[in-house]
Each structure stands twice: as structure tokens, then as C-alpha cells.
């Protein structure tokens, strides 16, 4: 696999922007052959495209690899007035898939995984496959909501501005916090998740208003059992967000789906164990394409 990656991966991903639904969305292009297929990578809540930096270079042997920042996250434009939550995020993904064109394999982590399942249920024609990475397929359990409630107090406040890069590193936290990343790798991720402002201070690339999306009113969401596209469910073996029971429940609800557990991984699976994550995704893509060829052969 290493030789294939070296032949097709860009040394560094290319930053690109596209305006969809009136918002300028950021994505990175890791290269790869679009003729082989396209993979679109989607991050979780309060995260950004860099959650895929360790796994994405290994995926280019499976086709062109693109990673998208949701509105209000990373370098994507903030929604003014605020329009976040499931409706807005589904708009982002569905519009981006139509922008990409041909059906893609959508790979999505955590909150992004829930959004991806809703998109797959609504518009299966946009996808040839779906990979859901450590996502419950809906809102977090009550105990986790209570644990995170303090984070929502930032809603309505201006984004904090910090004096230096070191302050960004000290303030940065993963949620949930369990991880196999080294302190150096965490520091690098922190700086990739922040920008230096014109006044010389530093701030995270994240709109605090995204935390108040539940105040925008109820949204009618598809049921996960309505997902009909070929689906792979990945669970971090040590995840505290997606229990083994819930992962099996999700597999039962999505008919024909496959479930794999990624060892040495907490909730942030593509950060903790990018090698096994990429291998599982590439094996799923190979299975998808083999099944498609067999199907095409039987129809002749």
C-alpha cells in the first residue's frame, strides 16, 4: 500500500473553497485518482478537516480523497444569522456531494456520522457507500449531554481570543478526552485548529454559536433503518461514546451493514489508530467495487 500512496498522494493537501447555499465552505483535496472513485471525509462536532490528516494520505489508493469542514467549523464560513444543527449540516453535505458529482463513498466521524446517515437515508443516489466512524446514529446519551452542558454556556459569547500559540495548546481538549495521541501530536492538532487574528491574538476556528443549534427548533430526521446504501460501521474498541451494544444495535437497524472494531482507539478513531482505520475503509471500498463488478456481470 505504501508504494500506491506515494504514487498518488499529494505531499500536502490542497486547501480549496466552494460556495454552497450562500456559504463559503472549506475543504482539502488529498489527491488520488477520481476515476477509481471519490471519498468524502466528514468530521465530528467542534472538529475540522484535520481530524483526518493521519488517515487521509493512506486512503488515496482508493480514489480521490476530499475532506470537508462543516459551516462554522475550521475555515468554513460562519452562518449569519446562526443556522446550525442537523438541517444546516445536511445541506452542507448534500450540496457538497452534488458539487463533487459522481456517487462517492462518504466517510464520517461522530456527529458527522449521524449527519451522513441522515443524508444516506434521504438521498441514496448520491452515495455508493457509507462508512460511519464511532457515531451513535443520533444524539448522545443523557449522561453525556449533562457532562457536556457546561460547554454550551459559551453560546452567545464572543469567541475567546488567547495571547499566544502556547495558550492555544494549553486550552485545547478533545471531547471525550481519551486518546492515544502523543502530547506533540495533540499540540500540532491544536494549532491546526486555530488561527492568528489580525490583532496578533489567537483563536480556535470554531463558531461558539454552533453549540446552540437545539434552540433553532425541532427538525424531522430520517430513521437510521431507512439507510439502504452499503454501510460499514467502525467503533473504537475503547470508545466511551459508542458502546459495543449500541454499535450492534446500529448494525441491526441498517440492514446488511458490516461492523468492525478498531483496536487501540477511543472515540477519535482516525486520530488514535489511522492505520487500521484506513485499512478497514480500503477493504470496504474494495468489497464495494468487487460487488459492483459482479452485479454488472450478471446483468449482461
Helix%, strand%, coil% for the chain, nearest 5? 45, 20, 35
Residue 140, all three cell numbers: 448522545
E-strand stretches of 145-279: 194-196, 202-204, 231-236, 258-262
How is residue 159 annotated by DSSP?
Answer: P
Q: What is the pTM of this model?
A: 0.91
Average confidence score pLDDT of the chain = 89
Averaged over successive runs of 10 residues, the pLDDT of the chain (300 residues) comes to 41 93 98 96 96 98 97 97 92 98 94 96 97 85 50 64 98 94 98 97 94 63 94 97 96 97 98 98 96 72
Instruction: Identify the structural domains of the chain with CATH numbers, from first to last.
Output: 2-298 (3.40.50.1820)
So what's the pLDDT on residue 143?
46
| Enclosing H/E stretch for 30 | strand 23-31
Closest CA to 125 of 92, 97, 99, 90: 97
What burial letters (b/e) apply to 157-175, b meaning 16+ CB within 10 Å? eeeeebeeeebbbeeeebb
- Cell 492555544 identifies what position? 168
For residue 159, the Cα-to-chain-centroid distance in whole angstroms is 23
End-to-end CA distance of the chain: 33
107-144 pLDDT per residue, tens: 999 999 999 999 999 999 999 999 999 999 865 555 45
Distance CA 44, CA 267 (A): 11
Residue 11, all three cell numbers: 505531499
Amino acid at each position: 500500500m505504501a508504494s500506491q500512496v506515494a504514487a498518488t498522494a499529494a505531499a500536502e493537501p490542497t486547501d480549496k473553497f466552494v460556495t454552497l447555499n450562500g456559504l463559503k465552505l472549506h475543504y482539502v483535496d488529498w489527491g488520488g485518482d477520481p476515476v477509481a472513485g471519490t471519498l468524502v471525509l466528514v468530521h465530528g462536532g467542534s472538529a475540522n478537516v484535520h481530524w483526518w490528516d493521519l488517515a487521509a494520505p493512506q486512503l488515496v489508493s482508493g480514489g480521490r480523497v476530499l475532506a470537508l469542514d462543516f459551516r462554522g467549523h475550521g475555515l468554513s464560513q460562519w452562518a449569519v444569522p446562526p443556522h446550525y444543527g442537523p438541517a444546516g449540516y445536511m445541506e452542507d453535505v448534500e450540496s457538497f456531494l452534488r458539487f463533487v458529482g459522481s456517487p462517492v463513498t462518504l466517510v464520517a466521524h461522530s456527529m458527522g456520522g449521524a449527519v451522513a446517515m441522515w443524508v444516506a437515508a434521504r438521498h441514496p443516489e448520491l452515495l455508493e457507500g457509507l462508512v460511519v466512524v464511532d457515531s451513535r446514529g443520533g444524539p448522545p446519551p443523557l449522561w453525556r449531554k449533562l457532562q457536556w452542558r457546561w460547554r454550551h454556556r459559551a453560546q452567545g459569547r464572543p469567541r475567546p481570543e488567547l495571547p499566544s500559540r502556547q495558550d492555544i495548546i494549553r486550552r485545547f481538549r478533545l471531547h471525550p478526552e481519551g486518546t492515544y495521541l502523543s502530547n506533540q501530536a495533540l499540540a500540532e492538532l491544536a494549532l491546526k485548529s486555530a488561527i492568528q487574528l489580525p490583532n496578533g491574538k489567537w483563536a480556535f476556528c470554531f463558531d461558539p454559536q454552533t453549540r446552540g443549534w437545539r434552540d433553532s427548533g425541532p427538525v424531522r430526521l430520517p430513521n437510521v433503518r431507512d439507510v439502504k446504501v452499503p454501510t460499514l460501521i467502525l467503533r473504537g474498541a475503547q470508545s466511551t461514546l459508542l458502546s459495543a451494544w449500541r454499535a450492534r444495535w446500529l448494525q441491526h437497524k441498517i440492514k446488511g451493514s458490516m461492523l468492525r472494531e478498531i483496536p487501540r482507539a477511543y472515540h477519535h478513531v482516525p486520530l488514535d489508530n489511522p492505520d487500521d482505520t484506513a485499512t478497514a475503509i480500503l477493504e470496504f471500498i474494495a468489497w464495494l467495487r468487487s460487488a459492483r463488478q459482479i452485479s454488472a456481470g450478471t446483468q449482461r
